[in-house]
Amino acid sequence: MTLENKISQVFGLDDEGWARHANPWSGWTRFITCLPLLALAIWSRVWLGWWALVPIGLALLWIWANPKAFGPAKSDDAWISKGVLGERFWSSRSTMEIPERHRILPHLLNLVALAGLPFLVWGLVALQIWPTAVGVALIIGGKLWYIDRMAILYGDIVERSPELRYRGAPRT
């Protein structure tokens, strides 16, 4: 079992969970809100003191709830939907064959995102804007590039195995 697979289990990403997470609203709101809200909530200790635990808790709750907050994606047409669906394939790589050209770069891009963590922590501890901004930019930038590669991975896999293509939520 891969680390990504374990993380997806924590977030409850079963078949329905992945379909909900592939909804473009889920994907984009994660990028736009989750890390910036958490950083702002941590920074709010300057103004709120111990009451900052409330916005920190709310930000963490949103991070956990986001994949559950939206309905299933209607299709795989959106770039971010393809990226999330490719991420699902990637997280299952211990049981699914991943094309050779996709075996290294996702690890490197996760390292790019991880490289932002020390800057983010430094900025939030020292209340310095530039390391906070660099950390957020590296984490989000690395993750966006990773999702782009996952969209390409998704395309490669469904081209090879069309039966794996996401058919979308049933129309009601």
* Predicted local distance difference test score (pLDDT) of residue 41: 94
**Which residue in 145, 71, 136, 78 sits closest to 108, CA to CA?**
145
Q: What is the dihedral of CA 59, 143, 6, 86, to 10 degrees?
A: 120
* Predicted local distance difference test score (pLDDT) of residue 4: 73
**Which residue in 76, 63, 74, 46 sits closest to 172, CA to CA?**
74
Q: Lowest-pLDDT range, 1-5, 37-41, 145-149? A: 1-5
What confidence category does residue 168 fall into, taking pLDDT thresholds of 50, 70 and 90? confident
> Residue 151 half-sphere exposure, CB side, CA atoms within 13 Å?
17
Q: Lowest-pLDDT range, 1-5, 59-63, 149-153, 163-167? A: 1-5
Residue 19 amino acid letter = A
Length of the chain equals: 172
CA pseudo-torsion sign 116, 119, 121, 123: negative
pTM of the model: 0.87
What confidence category does residue 169 fall into, taking pLDDT thresholds of 50, 70 and 90? low
Q: What is the pLDDT of residues 4-61, one digit of tens each?
A: 767 676 666 788 888 998 999 999 998 888 899 999 999 999 999 999 999 999 999 9
Q: What is the pLDDT of residues 78-94, one digit of tens each?
A: 999 999 999 999 988 88
**Which residue in 156, 168, 161 sits closest to 78, CA to CA?**
168
Q: What is the pLDDT of residues 121-138, one digit of tens each?
A: 999 999 999 999 999 999
DSSP 8-state code for residue 77: -
- CA angle (102 as vertex; 100, 108 as ends), nearest 5: 125
Task: Give dist(CA 23, CA 26) in Å, integer.
Answer: 5
